Structure 1
Amino acid sequence: MRIGIYGGTFNPIHNTHIEIAQAAKRQFDLDIVYFLISGTPPHKDTSETVADLCRYDMVRLAIEGIDGLELDDREIYRAGKSYSYITFTELHQEHPDDELFFIMGSDSLINFKNWVKPEIISQYCNVLAAPRAGDDMDKIEQSIHECKNIFDGDFFLIDYIANDIASSSIRNKIRINPDIKNQMPEAVFNYIIEHNLYTQDSYTMEDVMRLDDEMKKELKVSRYVHTIGVAQTAYSLAIRWNYPAINAMVAGMLHDCAKCISDEKRISVCEKNNIPITDIEYKYPHLLHGKVGAYYAKEKYDIKDNQIAHAIEVHTTGCPNMSLLDKIIFVADYIEPGRDKQPRLDIIRSVAYSDLDLCVYMILEDSVNYLNSNPDMVDPTTIDTFNYYRKLLNK
């Protein structure tokens, strides 16, 4: 077989990556091209941007259903810095009778001789370089000529018309330029938004500790203990479902920030700030603590992230088509370690880490069963949410 190996951080993967893989596959008659997702490369720090498993998920979504494109995730599970010579030694051992082709960008080709043990890489594969927008083609041709004289294997230029799409540009502009979504598969764009990747509104443990001090002052002791349980559970669920874990913890810390104020205060805050109040919320003002909490998160606790505010707003009632963070906080509020009275709690806790939508549905099902015995307390939003997830699961 003729096997292409396309290495990169893919942070995030975009249309150009896919086009390059397909161009190399056609030009060099490759049977298959593997997208090799870099773990911790020597020259880049991916840990400060998004989780490795998020990059894996985005590549998986991008190439799903495209014939001849596959994934290789070995490097994201490798300890320490990830060097290409180690990977190609492994690949050669796995495919001793196959011909390997290493697909890379022209910038990588120009610096190839400075890599760690490039002679081992070139011993086991041919190198295919893809031009980038604005490249000095004479310089690339010169690099190919130099590499051919220095190393084993062969070096070729992929016949590809370069464009100016770049992962760095996507990371910087995705929140401000709506046209960016056209530079990547729709599933990748939706994943980025759903998992709140590349946002400027990131938080640290210092923020969590600051909010912890605030909640100690604002909440009753029992409510504060519950809040810590929700924050910790949200952190755990976020790691499981590849959501920024500290952001989820911040949402957990603030989800009940308006729980211990008076009903009159909750109504007053809503009326003064044009926050809609439904008839049932006027009748049972404690139901407003989500809406007021979302307002406090932004105005009182300086939280800029709209996903956090929305998760706080709907953490009790839920809403149809909840975001990932909405679901994480909704579930964390129900299953945190201090909870012990809900039915089938052990099952729901288990399902939270295997099927989040099913877990949301099970919680809603139990909530609706409880509310049916107290019909005057039923919030229509909860019923709408229950029906939405029942239909979703039936599909």
Structure 2
Amino acid sequence: MRIGIYGGTFNPIHNTHIDIARAALEQFSLDKVYFLVAGNPPHKDTAENIPDACRLEMVKFAIANQPKIAIDEREIYRTGKSYSYISLTEIKKENPTDDIFFIMGSDSLLYFKNWVKPDVISDCATILVAPRLGDNMDVLNNAINECKDLFSGDFFLIDYKANGLASSVIRQDYYTDKSVHKWLDSKVEEYIIEHNLYSPYSYHYDDILRLSQEMNKELKSSRYVHTLGVATTAYSLALKWNYPAYTAMVAGILHDCAKCISDEKRISVCEKNNIPIRDIEYKYPHLLHGKVGAFYCKSKYDVFDDQIAHAIEVHTTGCPGMNLLDKIIFVADYIEPGRDKQPRLDILRSVAYEDLDKCVFMILEDTVNYLNENPEMVDSTTIDTYNYYLNEMKGEV
């Protein structure tokens, strides 16, 4: 077989990566191209605050309809720095009778001689180079000739119509320039939004400490203990479901930030800031603590991430089509360690780490059962949310 290996961080993977792989497949009659997703390469910070698992998932979405393209996950799970020569040596050993082709960008070619053990790489594989928009072809050809003089093996240019697209541009402009979205598979685009990747807002442990101190002042002691439980549970769920963990923890800390103010103040804040109040919220103003909390995020606590505000707004009632952070906070609020009165908590706490949507539905199921026994407190949003996830469980959404 003729096997292509395309290494990179793919942060995120975009259409040009796929086009290069397909061009190599066709031009060099390859049987398969494997995207070798970098784990911890020595030359750059792959993370960019993005979990490795998220980059891997995005690649899976992007190649789902590409029958001759697959993933090699070995570098994601390798300990320490991940050098290309290690992977190529392993791949050659695993496929001793196959021809191996290593695909790289032209920028990598120019510095190839400075890589760790480039001679081992060129012994294992033929090097295929994808040009980039604006490349000086004379410079590239000279670099190829120099590499041929220095190392064994062959070096070839891929006949590919280069463009200037780079993952760094997508990361930088994702939320300010919608035109970059067209370069992504639709499933990758959805994944980025759902997992809040490349957000202009990032949070750190110092933010957790600051907001925790604020809540300690604002909340009653029992509510503060509950808040810490929600924050730590949200952090844990975020790690499980590949959501930025400190972002989830901030949402958890602030979810009840308007819980301990008076009903009159909640109504006043909403009326002064044009926040809609439904009839049931006028009747039971404590239901407004989510809306007021979402408003306080930005106005009082300098937390400007819209996903955090939305998760706080709907953390009690839920809403149809909740995003990932909405679900994490909704579930964390219900199952945090201090809870002990809700039904089947042990089951819910297990299901939360196995199937988050199922856990959301089970909580809604229990909530609706409770509301049926107290019909005067029924919130239509909760019923709408329950019906939405009931249909989702049936596969109708």
Is TM > 0.5 for Structure 1 vs Structure 2?
yes
Q: Which residue of 1 aligns with 2:12?
A: 12
How far apart, in 2, do the equivalents of 1:282 and 1:184 lie?
Answer: 45
Q: In the alignment, what sits opposite 1:217?
A: 217
CA–CA separation in structure 1 for the residues paired with 2:352 and 2:153: 50
1:235-288 Cα offsets, whole Å, 9 max, x none, are 011111111100000000000000011111111111111100001001001000
Letter in 1 for 2:66: I
> 1:94-126 deviations in whole A, cap 9, x for unaligned?
111111100010010111110000011111110
Instruction: Read off the aligned partner of 1:104 and give its amino acid letter.
Output: M
Aligned equivalents of 1:48 and 1:11: distance in 2?
Answer: 8
Match of 1:291 in 2: 291
- Counterparts of residues 160-309 of structure 1 (less than 5 Å): 160-309=160-309
| 1:214-245 deviation line (CA, Å, top 9, x unaligned) | 00000011100000000000001111111110
Match of 1:350 in 2: 350
Amino acid at match of 2:124: Y
- Are positions 1:116 and 2:116 aligned together? yes
Q: Secondary structure at the match of 1:4?
A: strand
How far did 1:149 drift? 1.3
Using the size of structure 1 for normalisation, the TM-score is 0.99
What SS class does the counterpart of residue 77 from structure 1 fall into?
coil
Q: Which residue identity is paired with 1:364?
A: L
State the alpha-carbon separation in 2 of the partners of residues 111 and 365 from structure 1.
Answer: 59
* Structure 2 segments unaligned to the other structure (5+ residues): none
Q: Which amino acid aligns with 1:333?
A: D
Query: What is the TM-score with the length of structure 2 in the denominator?
Result: 0.99
Separation in 1 of the partners of 2:268 and 2:342?
32
- Distance of 1:65 and 1:365 partners within structure 2: 37
Please, what is the CA RMSD of the aligned residues? 0.7
Partner letter of residue 15 of structure 1?
N
Query: What is aligned with 1:59?
Result: 59
Secondary structure, in 3 states, of the residue corresponding to 2:76? helix
What CA deviation, in whole Å up to 9, does each residue of 1:114-152 have, x standing for no partner?
A: 000001111111000000011111111111111111111
Which blocks of at least 5 consecutive residues in structure 1 are unaligned?
none
CA–CA separation in structure 1 for the residues paired with 2:231 and 2:135: 48
Q: In the alignment, what sits opposite 1:39? A: 39
Give 1:164 deviation, angstroms.
1.3
Cα deviation code 1:350-369 (max 9, x no counterpart): 11111111110010000000
> Structure 2: how far apart are the matches of 1:286 and 1:388?
24
In the alignment, the residues of structure 1 paired with residue 341 and residue 180 of structure 2 have an alpha-carbon distance, to the nearest angstrom, of: 47
- For 1:352, give the aligned amino acid: A
Question: How far apart are residue 48 of structure 1 and its match?
Answer: 3.3
Code of the residue aligned with 1:390 in structure 2: it is: L
Give aligned pairs, total: 395
Sequence identity percentage: 69
Cα deviation for residue 47 of structure 1 reads 2.5
For 1:141 and 1:49, how far apart are their aligned partners in 2?
37
Question: For the residues of structure 2 that align with 1:256 and 1:221, how far apart are their CA atoms?
Answer: 13
- CA distance in structure 1 between the partners assigned to 2:56 and 2:32 by the alignment: 18
Equivalent position amino acid for 2:109 in 1: L
The equivalent residue for 1:367 is 367
2:368 partner amino acid: V
Which residues in structure 2 correspond to 1:150-165 (within 5 Å)?
150-165=150-165
SS of residue paired to 1:319: coil
